[in-house]
Amino acid sequence: MGTIYYGGSATPIHIEDRALAHLKVVIATKLRRGESFTLSWRHPDDQPRGRSTIWLHPSIPLRFVFDEPEAPRLNRQFIEDLANSANTSGGIMLVAEQIDSEPVRIPDQSPQLVEIATEESAESSAE
């Protein structure tokens, strides 16, 4: 379970390491650009029912702490989804990552083998 320490808040925000790794990429990109936005999440089952929202601004101190020493492999689509939501008036609503369990079928777009006619083959086919 990772943690976000935001501003002078004495209350750390606990987020699962994998989700936090994706969120960190989006937050760092937005703040590096000088953009402010909100981040919302639903309270976990072990906390009082509800949701919370924080306003993220480049001038407010922010620290990410991960329990796992190794960074997870990131899901580009999840990052794009989070980034797109950050650009809306509602800001990022942290939801579970959607992972496709079905294999993705990509059509074969490799070059096809084409026989090139030589002068000899062109003459023999003309006969």
Note the pLDDT tens digit of each residue in 55-95: 999 999 999 999 999 989 999 998 999 999 998 888 898 87
Residue 115 has pLDDT above 80, yes or no: no
Question: Strand, helix or coil at 39?
Answer: strand
Residue 100 has pLDDT above 60, yes or no: no
9-13, 35-39, 89-93: which has the highest mean pLDDT? Answer: 35-39
CB–CB of 42/29 below 8 Å? Answer: no
Token output for 76: 């580009």
Predicted TM-score (pTM) of this structure = 0.71
CB–CB of 56/27 below 8 Å? Answer: yes
